[in-house]
Chain A
Amino acid sequence: MASLLEIDKLKTQFFTTAGVVKAVDGVSYTVDEGETVAVVGESGCGKSVTAMSILRLIPWPPGKITDGEIRFAGKDLLALSEEEMRNVRGKDISMIFQEPMTSLNPVLSIGMQLTETMLAHTDISEEDAHNRAVELLGMVGISEPERRLVQYPHHLSGGMRQRVMIAMALSCEPKLIIADEPTTALDVTIQAQILELMKNLTRDLGVALIIITHNLGVVARYADRVNVMYAGKIIESGTAADIYYRPHHPYTLALLKSVPRMDQQRQAKLDPVEGQPPDLTMLDEGCAFRPRCRFATTECAEGLPSLETVEGGHATACFNKDQVAATMKEAS
């Protein structure tokens, strides 16, 4: 069976005065119906640009999708007209951002914002839209939904606004929600509430979810599958257990070792990923992680490692993946 979303060799670039930023450089992955897929990686590695590319929201100039394909439910998204694409964005795929204030309209009441999208994208009556709005607010755990409908975004706390965003994202019964750092700006207890809510709703309604985050704990708790990105590419992909217990890429290994764990007594100094993230305008033909990599060999400078299967759905892009796996085994 074909997947709900298929991204194939996607390339998105920004043509700036400082050079061509290869923000997304040949990314391929799939999302099945009802599945939760996490995308992790450090700041600037291309997570958000990948998401914006799916929705064709890359601003030109300076940005452009230069290559690749994106198929959603069998449709070639890159071939759609702007109007057809607007319909996809409103109805089939919705997006939740880190800062809800940037995507909520400050001068429209919560009720107007909720019903507006429904009225635009479905043939629901105004009365039904109103009732549905009340129902949605209840679903996302907002008390006294009737009263909330007449309030404005600034009346709500950050956590409540994010709940409203989720209600809006769900309003047209999408098949896919893309959540870009949906809880990063929230407090830990509120973050846990929102994530649990998203998990339960997506499971109950069978909605697929792409969750973009830099929090490895969130990934472990909520994701079925994980894509690790580095410098515009997916460098490792697999189930959460593959990634956490059997990493085959030096960056994944380093990332896991660099985070302190709240459930463990401190053993020693942290083991950081040394060096700085790469400049995406200056990538050469070799592996982009090479300057920071403990496993690098001469081969790594000469060509680009491609994403190869380790086992089952677990794949990694590293010439020395067996050495990495052996190191991991030794350590544990």
Chain B
Amino acid sequence: MSPPNEAVAREDAQFRGVPTDDVLIDLKDLKMHFPVTEGVFIQSVIAHVKAVDGISFKIMKGETLGLVGESGCGKTTTGRCILKLEDPTSGEIIFHGQDLMNLDDKEMVEVRKKIQVIFQDPFSSLNPRMKIGEIIAEPMRVHNIVPDEEARNNRVVELLNTCGLKANFADRYPHEMSGGQRQRVGIARALAMNPEFIICDEAVSALDVSIQAQVVNLLEDLREEFGLTYLFISHDLSVVRHISHRVAVMYLGHMVELAECDELFDNPLHPYTRALLEAVPIPDPDLENGRAHQIIKGEIPSPINPPSGCVFHPRCPSAHDGCKKEFPEFREVKPGHWVACTEV
């Protein structure tokens, strides 16, 4: 199985200057199996949670790759593996030509300056006892990026302004800010390290629609201005369609589809992707009246004992006997369009 190759041709207007075939991250057959243990004194491993079970994708420099899928499919685990916050079971994580799997903790400290994360819940990731200014300045101080205190304070003000916050927010505490403002602080703190790559894990999911749009615009502006690359993890397909260049769909630890954004939404091929798109209600009553609403049945199975063969087969409307036996190869069915389903 070869990993997905170059993103499709980028002359399309919606790529708005996304470069290159410069690969920033190349994930090869990544697996993260968490042991499930039993016993109080002597713990024995009785099973594994196959949170991520052999996924491969590339992220190009300057690109936003959307990663979607339902709860528990392994999106966050994938992000954490890239940062080596988990210890992946197997696979390769090539960043700038270097396999992060081979780096020790000390070497990873350097890498983690270049890769930042923005989380869903801005409140729990900000220290309630620190002022906003200190929160943003701290990583710069700890990593000695801006050693001089005055220069650091200036940088804090600059970062606040970049993220649409007034300088006097530096003296406030997190509880004195709204959710949207706290999310901007989270972004400012991530930018303080001058990262190349940001993993946005449900970064706008907790925000009200009106505020969500402000933060989405900010993320897009920053990407253009600083040439950032994003892995945009979200379960909100509307936002993902808006912000991504390419989109990957996960189900139960596997990649089931990957394509250029409009191609994926206009021409979904995997039965799961289709079901997912069908389930999302669209803010247009006439259009909704005309939709079929074929709603997929059943619930997501446990990743401890995933179904045999294609993990989607118990819920799949096109499943046949063969689907129970072998996991379908993730293959390129059109240039840039990858699917793991034998029926396509």
Interface residues of chain A, those whose CB is within 8 Å of chain B, are 42-43, 157, 159-160, 187-193, 195-196, 214-222, 240-241, 244-245, 254-256, 258-263, 265-266, 269-274, 276-277
Contacts and interface: CB of A to CB of B under 8 A. Distances in A.
Given A157-B299, A188-B70, A214-B208, A262 B213 contact: no
Given A187-B71, A188-B235, A265-B262, A218 B281 contact: yes
Given A220-B285, A255-B210, A276-B178, A260 B238 contact: yes
Contacts of B180: 276
Interface stretch (B49-57, B76-84, B130-138, B272-280): B272-280
The prevalent SS among residues of B at the interface is: helix
A220 B284 contact: yes
Nearest to B277: A262
Contacts of A221: 281-282, 285, 288, 293
Interface stretch (B112-120, B214-222, B324-332, B334-342): B214-222
Contact of A43 (B208, B237, B242, B280): B208
B95 interface: no
Given A42-B209, A245-B286, 6 more contacts: A42-B208, A157-B299, A188-B279, A192-B293, A244-B283, A260-B243
A227 to B, nearest CB: 15
B70 to A, nearest CB: 4
Contacts of B295: 189, 192-193, 196
Nearest to A218: B281
Given A188-B235, A190-B299, A255-B209, A220 B178 contact: no
A200 B243 CA distance: 35
Interface in B59-115: 70-71
B217 A187 contact: no
A98 B242 CA distance: 27
B209 A258 contact: yes
Contact of A240 (B216, B239, B285): B285
Interface string B196-215: 00000000000011111110
Interface of B: 14, 70-71, 178-181, 208-214, 216-217, 220, 235, 237-239, 241-243, 262, 265-266, 275-288, 293, 295-297, 299-300
Given A217-B282, A217-B283, A262-B282, A188 B213 contact: no
Contact of B282 (A42, A189, A254, A261): A261
B48 to A, nearest CB: 21
A187 B282 contact: no
Nearest to A199: B293
Nearest to A43: B208
A272 B265 contact: no
Contacts of A219: 283
A271 B209 CA distance: 11
Contacts of B275: 189
Contacts, number: 140
Given A189-B295, A272-B214, A273-B210, A256 B262 contact: no
B244 to A, nearest CB: 9
Contacts of B281: 192, 195, 215, 217-218, 220-222
Contacts of A195: 281
Find the residue from B14, B237, B238 having the highest chain A CB count within 10 A: B238
A241 B242 CA distance: 24
B341 to A, nearest CB: 17
A215 B281 CA distance: 9
Nearest to A272: B213
B284 A258 contact: no
B285 A244 contact: yes
Contacts of B296: 189, 192-193
30 contacts: A42-B208, A42-B211, A188-B70, A188-B279, A189-B296, A190-B299, A192-B281, A192-B295, A192-B296, A196-B295, A219-B283, A220-B288, A221-B281, A221-B282, A245-B285, A255-B209, A258-B210, A259-B213, A261-B238, A263-B265, A263-B282, A263-B284, A265-B262, A265-B266, A269-B217, A269-B220, A270-B213, A272-B214, A276-B180, A277-B210
A138 to B, nearest CB: 15
Contacts of B238: 217, 259-262
B235 A272 contact: no
Contacts of A271: 213
Nearest to A186: B71
Contacts of A244: 283-285
A78 B209 CA distance: 34
A54 B57 CA distance: 52
Contacts of A266: 14, 241-242
A100 to B, nearest CB: 15
A277 B243 CA distance: 25
Contacts of B282: 217, 220-221, 261-263
Contacts of B276: 188-189
Contacts of B220: 269
A311 to B, nearest CB: 17
A326 to B, nearest CB: 21
Contacts of B283: 216-217, 219-220, 244, 256, 259, 261
Contacts of A220: 281-285, 287-288
